Amino acid sequence: MLSDPLFIVVAGAALLVLVILMIGIGGFARGGDFNRKHANRIMRYRIIAQAVAVALILLFVYLRRSGG
């Protein structure tokens, strides 16, 4: 599986979602000015990254089931 480029892209997208989530949780836990300024933007980035990751996962599963 590690030789499959699409799997690497899917794993990278999932890791990107994790990184954005950790930044958001860290900002929320710390609170203060950073959280007030950037919380909604970080949430939007996470939602967009999750949508892309889910779409890539579905594409990966579809291609593997159809023998592609």
DSSP character at residue 32? H
- Residue 25 and residue 2 in one domain: yes
How many domains is the chain built from?
Answer: 2
Say if residues 50 and 17 touch (Cβ distance below 8 Å): yes
Burial class of residue 31 in the structure, from the number of CB atoms within 10 Å of its CB (0-12 exposed, 13-18 middle, 19+ buried): exposed
Q: Domain containing 13: what range? A: 1-30
State mean pLDDT over 2-21: 93
Q: What is the pLDDT of residues 23-39, one digit of tens each?
A: 999 999 988 888 889 89
Same domain, 1 and 25: yes
Residue found under tokens 């203060």: 32
pLDDT band at 68 (very low <50, low <70, confident <90, very high): low
pTM: 0.84
Same domain, 2 and 21: yes
- Please calculate the CA angle 49-51-52 and round it to the nearest 5 degrees: 65
pLDDT, tens digit (0-9, with 9 covering 90-100), for 42-60: 999 999 999 999 999 999 9
